[in-house]
Structure 1
Amino acid sequence: MTGLFDSTVRDAARLLPRYVVDNIFMSRKFNTRFPNFRPMTYREGLALIEREQRA
């Protein structure tokens, strides 16, 4: 009922079915396009963002 008045709630309810099953990321195309990409931890990523914003 809330979704009738609040678009955020309406959008969230519409997206929930997407999370019923796991999303599988096929990395072959990504790795071909970005061969030097190195995954990092959240901590490393946040530290990088902080350094970039200070620069």
Structure 2
Amino acid sequence: MSTSEPVTATDLRLMQGLAQRVAATRPDLLNADTTVGELAWIWGKGHISGAG
């Protein structure tokens, strides 16, 4: 069984850096779910306080 930890802002920046490097060298490997902006959007949706 594996354990999972919440994704932090630092993790998000690392994933965005990876997405940028892949986009620069192999854009054919990316889809709409792996862009820098989409990663931030998905992460941010789970961290909004006071929404509603």
TM-score normalised over the length of structure 2:
0.29
Higher relative contact order (CA 8 A, sep 6+): 2
TM-score normalised over the length of structure 1:
0.28
In our comparison, the structure showing a higher alpha carbon Rg is: 1
